[in-house]
Structure 1
């Protein structure tokens, strides 16, 4: 009897619908909205599925057209949805984005209270399904959504450790959900000695009070978390990883930014993709490519193919494909 896990990566968290207006249009006077699916964990599951990985997403969705709309996007990408918790009560979380050009900054307005995802508790989660995987990915977005969601993340970490499932965690700090102090106090105990820890440079500064050269910051994150691999996004400077002994840097891909949300999820997906094959360098290369693709496409969820990613890795500075 095979002991091979059913999935390469599973994840759980809230997926939402994004309602946005283009640059130059204000939400206050908008007469139409562009609707797209989003959510950090779902974005990652989609990116990995498009690379050929067996991925699954567990979350709460309402039994209505909005819930089915989001599920359809995940299903088309190849994400397994057998573990989705469908509900006759609750609602679909949404968020509104007003894209802007300088001097204005892009604005995000969340409307997610009492969503089906926020109403979940550990008793709702199909644990045998969620943990039938090589790696489970969690983020810092989920714990502040509700006491039930915080308990789900804590239980996921506990069960994964107990069953020997690798754990990946992305800080993904959201200031509209909790304070830096609240986030740090919750996240640090959760991520002790996990396999992969993702933290952006800004989050490292805001949550953990770190500053200075990137190498010092990522090494301090490793000391705080004791994670086996710490990965820090450096935005336009690329990505830096520390495996406890060596530093690994990969420069960012040249990109024309169309739509910012989802780039960090693409980076994490790429690193995990390489990590699953035991190839960190390849993971970092894939991560910066996926981040660039996310920035260059409309929507949070990346649309790509393994062949496209491979061609961009091989010719990272080529802008014309013949």
Structure 2
């Protein structure tokens, strides 16, 4: 059976001061579109996977521009609902040297935030679909969306569709208590969970103590005790110097952890790196890669995203494969 993947969430307009300026000093912004599940959809489409994105966007020029940003990379936009008055916006100050990144959201009252259950016919949307992906950001946007996500997951499970969720806890969107309440119900229907330590602590208060050596394994084991996950995956960055980071990933399945090799890298743009990891993981899973090969591919996808400006990971599956498994490194491709 041919794989078809649905991702569901909010695509936003991202505004970033040019030249790494601060908000208070900038006079112009770089404008691109992005959002967790949209980023994952674009990555999968670039990998050659049949992928559709579901959201709600206003019927105006900005909404259409967001749709076009997906269409140009081959994402199926036929199930995008039109309505509402505005698109969500986020402002980003990029991390520079010791100055951390800073995000300011302007998404209250966006088209997707005001969406209702009647906007999405999941029986129709899920026709011929084999995989459904969303993140914890989506149910955090509004109570309506929390209910819509739960309904979508229930229908997906009834149809034997694989469900994956990137927990992606955002404290600026909801409290840990609210996230725990909502995600504890939704996760009953999730097969593959992507979660880092911040997600586990912020949502489920799974906090490995300082005596725990393998923290990611501990988190995966604790999550699998609570929920019927088939796999828990994670990716993390470790700062080695002001400009150099180590990137590594893990998948945990069938009682065993598999770790990727690390990459040491400079970062052009880190936004969307976790979404690139999700796409790499989904792609490797549907290609029936064994777990070690799966985590290597997914980590390499995330690594390459750090070299691409904007939210979308504009690389091919062949490029990811070469990084993950070729000994040629980053030599010129001729």
**TM bucket, shorter chain:** over 0.9
Distance 1:135 1:49 in 2: 14
Partner of 2:174: 178
Task: Say if 2:75 is the partner of 1:96.
Answer: no
Distance 1:25 1:114 in 2: 28
CA contact (8 A) 2:153 2:189 kept: no
Distance 2:331 2:229 in 1: 40
| SS at structure 2 position matched to 1:37 | strand
Partner of residue 305 from structure 2, selected from 294, 307, 310: 294
- Point out where structure 2 has 5 or more consecutive residues left out of the alignment: 238-245
CA contact (8 A) 1:200 1:234 kept: yes
Moved more, 242-251 or 51-60: 242-251
Moved more, 247-256 or 136-145: 247-256
Task: Say if 2:209 is the partner of 1:209.
Answer: no
Partner of 2:81: 85
Partner of 1:245: 255
Partner of residue 27 from structure 1, selected from 18, 23, 28: 23
Provide the alpha-carbon RMSD of the alignment: 1.7
Task: Say if 2:220 is the partner of 1:218.
Answer: yes
| SS at structure 1 position matched to 2:57 | strand
Partner of 1:141: 137
Distance 2:236 2:225 in 1: 19
Structure 1 residue 26, shift from structure 2 partner: 1.4
Structure 1 residue 209, shift from structure 2 partner: 2.7
Corresponding pairs, count: 317
- Point out where structure 1 has 5 or more consecutive residues left out of the alignment: none
Structure 1 residue 238, shift from structure 2 partner: 1.0
Moved more, 225-234 or 35-44: 225-234
Structure 1 residue 165, shift from structure 2 partner: 1.1
Change (3 A) 1:34 1:17: same
CA contact (8 A) 2:251 2:257 kept: yes
| SS at structure 2 position matched to 1:29 | coil
Partner of 1:75: 71
CA contact (8 A) 2:6 2:132 kept: yes
1:8-157 matches, cutoff 5 A: 8-22=4-18, 24-87=20-83, 89-132=84-127, 133-157=129-153
Distance 2:67 2:95 in 1: 29
Change (3 A) 1:272 1:124: same
Distance 1:310 1:162 in 2: 34
Structure 1 residue 286, shift from structure 2 partner: 2.0
Per-residue Cα deviation, 1:174-196 (whole angstroms, up to 9, x for no partner): 11100122212211221126320
